[in-house]
Amino acid sequence: MIIKSWNVPGPLNLPIIGAAYKFMIRPENMYNRLMEIQEKYPDGVKLWFGPKLIYFLHKPEHIEKILSSYKLVQKDEAYNIAIPVIGEGLILAPVLKWRKNRKIIMTSFHQKNLDQFVTIFTEKSYILNSVLEKQVGKNINIYDFLTKCSLDTLCETSMKLRLNVQNENNSYGYMFDKLMQLIHIKLGYLWNKFDFIYNIFGYEKEFRVLLKVFHDLSDKVVQEKQKANNIEEDILYQDSKKPQVFLDCIVDSGQFSSNELRDEVSMFLFAGTETAASTLCFVFAVLGMFQDVQDKVLQEIVDVVGLERDPEPQDLHHLQYTERVIKESLRLFPVASLFGRSVTQDTDVGDFIIPKYASVYFGVNYIHKNAKYWPNPLKFDPDRFLPEEVEKRHPCTYIPFSYGPRNCIGKNYSMMNMKVILSIVLRKYKIHCAYKRIEDIKLKMTLVLRFKDGAKVSVTLR
């Protein structure tokens, strides 16, 4: 591996630990350290962590070679740290299990099913509107409200279960946020890899308490579904024309054990809720920062949907400017800002060979801000995503949902849901944000990208 990697640059390696000394920092500073290293090596970098060789790829041609390969779909072993939370669901599943399960689960994401979810997206957005009435004019933790909205929406669209957490006083928002932090602390501090050290600092006890809350939620969903099946009716729907949702697909397939069923439910609840809420936080902040953009989005919504009518599936396709705003928000703030693969065979990416047993990571936040592909990268410009502009760029210069066979299966669901939420919320509220420039926003990495100092969002009635 040393010989094969000699022509790829990287920082000085110390005996035994390699470049690990570069990351002996507080987890909240990990984002800045990774950006510094990637900026120093714009064409890619190798890092030795003891005997472990890790590459960060930055050139879109190199990225495509890895992500488009059906032979390189194994997630990196670092992901195993999240298995106690979400099990070996679709995101973390070994390759053979992933191939089988994805084929089954994908049927629930067909467009005809997604179209039927729009009424649920709308209902949950109106509840969000109602909840926000008590927050008008206040500096609010918008993440908490969006987490509950996302959880409500996900449970009903994917599992046909009404949780109604938006109307309850519960700690689900705190639970998701804190679990993310605790996992990242274990991942970020090298010495926390040892369980006894993690336990000494009290993290393990808090982690177990929160994990029980989350697994109780997962078990509740599974039990409700099994109860519904036992009495041969659905929790919410008795109409055979209603969509076969995610949980229907995996239960009806008969190919999932009880543990596998729980893993898939946990994965969807955790990953789906967290990524949706975090993405919407960034979109809300951007709209609050750039009032002219917010005005254009609102005008498009009024032109397409109207002032009173509920959005319909066919409307969402016509919200083109709104979609560009969401995409530009994801460019600047890709929630899944770092992901990796295990290299299971020697792989020639063009300029060098990545040896078997190495790991490859993709720093999405750096790729999305690389001035070589994105002129004036910190400028918020939705027109970067006009069709004629998109055609000029390599597809792997923009990978918020990954790329290739193991990309995110929920990207269309996510886009439709966000369009509905914006079409409901913006007709009632004007969004404000204390940040004035993209440069003012400090970021941190948990398992996803977050505001370091909060979103600083408020709403007022129109």
C-alpha–C-alpha distance, residues 259 and 88, integer Å:
9
pLDDT reported for residue 56:
96
Q: Quick check: helix, strand or coil at residue 127?
A: helix
For residue 235, the model assigns a pLDDT of 47
Q: What angle do CA 147, 152, 153 make, to 5 degrees?
A: 100
- Confidence at residue 230, expressed as pLDDT on a 0 to 100 scale: 62
Average pLDDT over residues 43-54: 93
Structural domain includes residue 9: no
The pLDDT mean for the chain works out to 90
User: For residues 62, 67, 69 and 75, what is the CA-based torsion angle, rounded to 10 degrees?
Assistant: 120
Give me the sheet containing 52-56, strands edge to edge: 45-49, 52-56, 359-363, 338-342
Residue 200: is its pLDDT beyond 70?
no
Cβ within 8 Å of residue 78, ≥6 positions away: 187, 340, 359
DSSP 342-357: E--S-EE-SSSEEPTT
Evaluate whether residue 7 is within a structural domain.
no
Binding residue ranges for heme: 408
Query: pLDDT by residue (tens digit) across 90-116?
Result: 999 999 999 999 999 999 999 999 999
Q: Which residues of 361-389 are buried (b: 16+ CB within 10 A; e: fewer)?
A: bbbbbbbbbbeebbeebeebbbebbeeee
Least confident range of 64-73, 184-193, 248-257, 310-319:
184-193
Look at residue 119 in the predicted model and tell me its pLDDT. 97
C-beta separation of 101 from 386 below 8 A: no
pLDDT at 193: 55
Tell me the C-alpha distance between 317 and 280, whole Å: 19
Domain presence at residue 60: yes
Q: What does pTM read for this prediction?
A: 0.93
Residue 113 lies in a domain: yes
Token pair of 200, please? 């000494």
Residue 179's pLDDT is what?
Answer: 84
Q: pLDDT (tens digit, 9 = 90+) per residue, 343-390?
A: 999 999 999 999 999 999 999 999 999 999 999 999 999 999 999 999
Q: pLDDT tens digits, residue range 286-314?
A: 999 999 999 999 999 999 999 999 999 99
How far apart CA 318 and CA 177 sit, in angstroms, is: 34
Residue 287: enclosing H or E segment and its boundaries?
Answer: helix 273-289
**E strand segments, 334-413:** 338-342, 347-348, 353-354, 359-363
Any residues with CB less than 8 A from the CB of 390 and at least 6 apart, and which? none
Q: Domain count for the chain, please give it.
A: 1
* Contact residues for 257 (Cβ-Cβ < 8 A; gap 6+): none
Q: How many CB atoms lie within 10 A of CB 413?
A: 23
Per-position b or e across 275-310, b if 16+ CB within 10 A of its CB:
bbbbbbbbbbbbbbbbeebbebbbebbeebbeeeeb
Q: Is residue 337 part of a domain?
A: yes
Per-residue confidence (pLDDT) for residue 456, from 0 to 100: 94
Inside any domain, residue 4: no
Residue 344, domain member (yes or no): yes
Residue 69 domain flag: yes
| pLDDT tier at 123, thresholds 50, 70, 90 | very high
**pLDDT of amino acid 192:** 46
Residue span of the structural domain in which 106 resides: 20-461
Share above pLDDT 70 across residues of the chain, in percent, rounded to a whole number: 92
**What is the residue type of 205?**
K
pLDDT band at residue 42 using 50, 70 and 90 as cut-offs: very high
pLDDT higher than 90, residue 211: no
| 3-state class (DSSP) for residue 49 | strand
pLDDT of residue 86: 85
DSSP 454: -
- For the annotated binding site, the residues are 408
CATH code of 358's domain: 1.10.630.10
The answer on pLDDT for 430 being more than 70 is yes
